Amino acid sequence: MFTMSRTVLIIDDSPTVRSMVRDQLHQAGLFDHYLEAGDGEEGLEILLREQIDVVLCDLDMPGISGFELLRLMQRENSLREVPVIMLTGHDNQDEKIHGLELGASDYVTKPFDPAELLARVKVQLKIKTLQDKLRRQANTDVLTGLFNRRYLFEELEKERVRAIAGQNDLSIAILDIDHFKKINDTYGHQVGDQVLIAVAERLCLSIEKNEIVARFGGEEFVVVLPGKSSSQARDCIEKIRRATGNKPLVTSPEEVSITLSAGVATLRKGTQKSVDALVKAADEALYLAKESGRNRVEIATEESSPTTTIPRSVPLP
7-139 is classed CATH 3.90.76.10: no
Residue numbers annotated as active site: 219
149-299 CATH choice from 3.30.70.270, 3.50.50.60, 2.60.40.3880, 1.10.10.10: 3.30.70.270
Average pLDDT rounded to a whole number, residues 217-224 = 97
Contacts of 220 (CB under 8 A, 6+ apart): 174, 175, 176, 286
Query: What pLDDT digit, counting tens, does each position of 129-156 carry?
Result: 998 888 888 899 999 999 999 999 999 9
Q: Does 149-299 match 7-139 at the fold level? A: no
**Is the model's pLDDT at 217 over the cut of 70?**
yes
Distance of CA 251 to the CA centre of its chain: 29
Work out the pLDDT band at 310, boundaries 50, 70, 90: very low
Catalogue the long-range contacts made by 270-275 (C-beta closer than 8 Å, 24 or more residues apart). Answer: 270/167, 272/164, 273/160, 274/160, 275/153, 275/156, 275/157, 275/160
Query: What pLDDT digit, counting tens, does each position of 40-57 carry?
Result: 999 999 998 888 999 999
Query: What pLDDT digit, counting tens, does each position of 174-206 carry?
Result: 999 999 999 999 999 999 999 999 999 999 999
**Is the model's pLDDT at 169 over the cut of 90?**
yes
Edge to edge, the sheet with strand 220-226 lists 212-217, 220-226, 170-177, 260-267, 297-299
Query: What pLDDT digit, counting tens, does each position of 263-294 carry?
Result: 999 999 888 889 999 999 999 999 999 999 99
**Is the model's pLDDT at 309 over the cut of 60?**
no
Can you give the pTM of this predicted structure? 0.65
Work out the pLDDT band at 4, boundaries 50, 70, 90: low
**Is the model's pLDDT at 164 over the cut of 70?**
yes
List the chain domain ranges.
Answer: 7-139, 149-299
Q: What is the pLDDT of residue 28?
A: 94
